[in-house]
Amino acid sequence: MAVSREDMREIVEECDKRYRSKDDCDEISGAIEKKLANDNTRFAVLEYQQKVNNWLTTAIAGGIVALLIKIFVGGGA
């Protein structure tokens, strides 16, 4: 029994309902890659801000510790 054009049309329609074409996949993956690239730049900015924050916190904590050591060891005024 040979496969007719109508049978092939039905098979293609069923496949189109179930599976995506390569072009559709390329569009979807392109959109996802754009979002990931934007997230990478945001993470870089957040990382830089966190480093600055860590340095400021360390400097402030170091100053407080030095002041406490001076008060308790070196005398008051």
3-class SS string, 9-54: HHHHHHHHHHCCCHHHHHHHHHHHHHHHHHHHHHHHHHHHHHHHHH
Q: What is the pLDDT of residues 39-74, one digit of tens each?
A: 888 888 999 999 999 999 999 999 999 999 998 888
Does residue 48 belong to any structural domain of this protein?
yes
Q: Which domain holds residue 60?
A: 40-70
Does residue 50 belong to any structural domain of this protein?
yes
Does residue 65 belong to any structural domain of this protein?
yes
**pTM score:** 0.49
Mean pLDDT of 9-21: 82
Give me the number of domains the chain comprises. 1
